[in-house]
Amino acid sequence: MSDATANSTPATPSASSLFKQDDRVKRRNAAEKRFKAYGLTAIGVGVTMLIILVSSVLSQGLSSFRQTFVTLPITVTQAEFEAAEASMLKTGKYKKLIQRGLEQRLATAELGDVVSIKDAMGLLSGQAPADLRMAALANQTWPLRQEFRFLANGRVDGYFKGRVTMEIAERDSRISPEQLELSQQLADAGIMETRFNRGFLTRTDGSPTRPEAAGLGVAFLGSLYMMMVVLALALPIGVATSIYLEELAPKNRWTDLIEVNISNLAAVPSIVFGILGLAIFINFAGLPQSAPLVGGLVLTLMTLPTIIIATRASLKSVPPSIRDAALGLGASKMQTVFHHVLPLAAPGILTGTIIGLAQALGETAPLLLIGMVALVQNYPSAPPAGLEDPATALPVQVYIWTTRSDPAFVERASGAIIVLLAFLLIMNIAAILLRRRFERRW
Amino acid sequence: MNDMRLTERAVDTNQLKITARDVQVFYGDNHAIKDVTVDIQDKTVTAFIGPSGCGKSTFLRCLNRMNDTIDICRVEGKILLDDEDIYDKRVDPVQLRAKVGMVFQKPNPFPKSIYDNVAYGPKIHGLARSKTELDEIVETSLRRAALWDEVKDRLTAPGTGLSGGQQQRLCIARAVATSPEVLLMDEPCSALDPIATAQVEELIDDLRSRFSVVIVTHSMQQAARVSQKTAFFHLGNLVEFDDTTKIFTNPEDPRTESYITGRIG
Ligand SMILES: Nc1ncnc2c1ncn2[C@@H]1O[C@H](COP(=O)(O)OP(=O)(O)OP(=O)(O)O)[C@@H](O)[C@H]1O
Ligand SMILES: [Mg+2]
């Protein structure tokens, strides 16, 4: 009996050593260790996946930043230029001029008699005459005399990157094994070389048969313009909405309803916003198709809920005592919000905005619906007028390239993904830096 | 003109500043303040005492309409400041709060520099015409809150980096800087050491020459030391309101007596 009472009153601690863990502590520690292990496993799996993804993209895509070029001496007199411009088939004339340069270069390399000039011309990209024409059009002083670096054919480029082999060339109508051997000879003679390709970032998208000439210039500008539209619209509208809902609006059934709707909007599939944009901005408001303006508007609609939710959360997290302090001093609601609450909420708002922008940057589906999927061969002009010019966007460009049959586009799609990821990385770094500047503790 | 008003006030010390009639406060269904009628005189320190949760803070917050910020809070009855109903529809609470300053129960400095904390009120109310004037206001306010010597070398340091007691004095300085007519202080000394408490009490006594001060306190000694009038709250009721000396020596209500003796003894 006396034992039982002694057991039920643990008030007097038994003499136990601090050096020995008792059972409860052991169990709790074990649970903690297990939890840590789960966490580490999850992180490990995540990081592995990320590494696999990034390395596969990098291994496939990095080569798109390098391209095979043929360097030729080119001379164009003014008479030749005018004749070429006057003729019906302009590029044909320019092709002749390139051929002249190629013959010259082969002769100096003492390869003139060994190869057929037709085979050799076949090594060049179909884009070469057009490039020469652009240079001639921009030229001021005649004659134009210059070492020109022309793009090599995509197959030749693939040969130097290990994608095209002799066996493949055997079956390919657009390249022959002899031509590949020839290009090896040219490479040995220093006429052909693989080097950094700025054109991948600056050129417009090429035709499906000229992967070597395809670049991201238009897509990059399109994405940039759209981000500008989204930032200029979604940030102020989103922040203003959040401030109103959080700080000024009465809490009643209507604001509850709005809140629920905003949360639901954040979960609406993006393609629905595309349909909405098509109906409202293009069919109803009559804005042009394929324009970054319309894309930006659609993405703004899509991004707004994200920004509003993030902004409201960060406004909510500002301690109410700060508001009391300002109001107690006789600050108005607006002064309270703009002088005290908003600066404290800024890091959260920034994070939300960047998440929204990143989402918008990677969005493809709604852009397909509003016609940003076209093959655009002209750069959009500078904003604001350029906002209505046709353009594509980086993720759409990835999509377009992956749907093309030429295997050279696989490399370019991966390259575009790298550019997209770099874009995102820069945005995130900017966000982190900005947040550091704004961040304050209280 | 300003001077005239000051001398006028000095003559008539018993003039009423705030008159509260049958004030009821509800937090939703919770009836937190019941039928409180109280007269707060100008240039007087009025102390609110009472057990925790009896509604002292709630009533104090009615006096500058800080309760407006709480959605579920409802105030009924009449509160007059200089014979004007502060709950009148025409009254802008922002203007009211410039006249009726407040120091909160928990120190709540802005996450800005010490200087900006104090200068904020004068800035938004346009009390300083120049930087030197503002500097002067900041310095005098900090001196009155007995904080100047501790912070004069680091006015640009964040106010949130001060100790709890220093933060509370910073909040007092901030409230004083706007030169309110009434200063409401909710337990201003609860986080202060005896020396700072003495300094703040000195400040309160000094403020009395120009404003009327309402102070909530849990310290009977403090109420006895600084106040001329004392109100004892219990469960939302104003049990007794009289001269401080009377409350502490000869309370009429047995509840007051048991509270005071219980606390002191
Ligand atoms: N924001 C609020 N929402 C709902 N009820 C509240 C709120 N603030 C206070 N109350 C209630 O009102 C009553 C009075 O609270 P009040 O803060 O005025 O007490 P107090 O006298 O200041 O106490 P203390 O001395 O502990 O500060 C309490 O019952 C409390 O629960
Ligand atoms: Mg209180």
Q: What is the pLDDT of residue A238?
A: 93
* CATH number, domain with residue B210: 3.40.50.300
pLDDT tens digit sequence for A344-353: 898 888 888 8
Position B139 scores a pLDDT of 93
The β-bridge partners of B102 are: B184
Report the amino acid identity of residue A261.
N
Strand B45-49 relative to strand B73-81, pairing:
unpaired
Task: Tell me what pLDDT residue B228 has.
Answer: 92
Q: Are strands B45-49 and B229-234 parallel, antiparallel or unpaired?
A: parallel
| CB B182 within 8 Å of CB B214 | yes
CB B69: neighbour CB atoms within 10 A? 16
Which residues have their alpha-adjacent CB atom under 5 A from ion ligand 2? B 57, 105
Atom of ligand 1 nearest to the CA of B233: 21
Mean pLDDT of A61-76: 85
Cβ-based contacts under 8 A for chains A and B = 66
Domain assignment present for residue B216? The answer is yes
Identify the residues whose C-beta falls under 6 Å from ligand 1. B 27, 30, 32, 50, 52-58, 70, 105
Q: Quick one: average pLDDT of A273-285?
A: 89
* Inside any domain, residue A172: yes
**Six-digit token string for A158:** 């693939």
Task: With respect to residue A30, please indicate whether it lies within any of the assigned structural domains.
Answer: no
Beta strands B212-216 and B182-186, pairing class: parallel
Mean pLDDT (whole number) for A386-407? 85
- Digit-coded pLDDT (tens) for A310-322: 999 999 999 999 9
- Residue whose Cα lies nearest atom 16 of ligand 1: it is B55
Confidence band for A250, pLDDT divided at 50, 70 and 90? confident
Together in a domain, A178 and A225: no
- pLDDT for A205: 82
pLDDT of residue A438: 73
* Arithmetic mean of pLDDT over chain A: 85
- Average the pLDDT over A313-335 and give the result: 91
What is the total count of domains within chain A?
Answer: 2
**Which residues of chain B from 37 to 66 reach within 8 Å of chain A, CB to CB?**
64, 66
For residue A441, what pLDDT is reported? 52
Query: Which residue range is the domain that position A309 belongs to?
Result: 217-438
* Ligand 1 atom at minimum distance from B61 CA: 18
What does the alpha-carbon distance between residue A397 and residue A361 come to, in Å, rounded to a whole number? Answer: 12
Assign residue A250 the CATH number of its domain.
1.10.3720.10
Whether A166 and A256 share a structural domain: no
Of B79, B63, B58, nearest to B181 by C-alpha is B63
> Which amino acid residue places its CA nearest to atom 4 of ligand 1?
B27
Same domain, A112 and A223: no
What ipTM was reported for this prediction?
0.87
Task: Tell me, letter by letter, the H, E, C secondary structure of A52-63.
Answer: HHHHHHHHHHHH
Among the partner-chain residues B104, B111, B124, the one whose CB lies closest to the CB of A328 is B104
Contact of B167 with chain A, judged by CB distance below 8 Å, is answered with no
Residue A179 within a domain = yes
pLDDT tens string A128-187: 888 888 888 887 777 878 888 888 888 888 888 888 888 877 887 778 888 888 888 888
* Confidence at residue A314, expressed as pLDDT on a 0 to 100 scale: 93
Dist. CA B34 → ligand 2 center (Å)? 16
Partner B contacted by A328 (CB < 8 A): yes
Same domain, A131 and A183: yes
Residue B102 and residue A328: Cβ atoms within 8 Å?
yes
Q: Which residues of chain B have pLDDT under 70?
A: 1-14, 263-265
Give the closest residue to B98 by CA, choosing from B3, B210, B183, B5: B183
Taking CB atoms and an 8 Å limit, are A323 and B69 in contact across chains?
yes
Report the DSSP beta bridge partners of residue A71. Answer: A149
Q: Is residue A46 part of a domain?
A: no
pLDDT of A2: 46
C-beta of residue A411 within 8 angstroms of C-beta of residue A64: yes
Q: Residue A166 and residue A189: Cα distance in Å, rounded?
A: 20
State yes or no: pLDDT of A59 exceeds 80. Answer: yes
* pLDDT score of A55: 92
Instruction: Looking at the structure, tell me whether residues A270 and A361 fall in a common domain.
Output: yes
Q: For residue A254, give the amino acid letter.
A: W
d(CA A324, CA A319) in angstroms, rounded, equals: 9
pLDDT at B193 (0 to 100) = 85
What type of residue is B172?
I
Domain that holds residue B76: 15-260
Q: What angle do CA A334, A339, A340 make, to 5 degrees?
A: 105
Same domain for A254 and A164:
no
A11 belongs to a structural domain? no
Please report the pLDDT score of residue A43 as a whole number.
97
List the Cα angle A398/A273/A231 in 5-degree steps.
75
Longest dimension (CA), chain B: 56
Look up residue B58 and give its amino acid. Answer: T
Total number of domains in chain B: 1
Q: Is B174 on the interface with A (CB under 8 A)?
A: yes
- Tell me which ligand sits closest to the C-alpha of residue B49: 1
Please check whether residue A352 lies inside any domain of the structure: yes
Alpha-carbon distance of B108 to B160, in angstroms, equals: 8
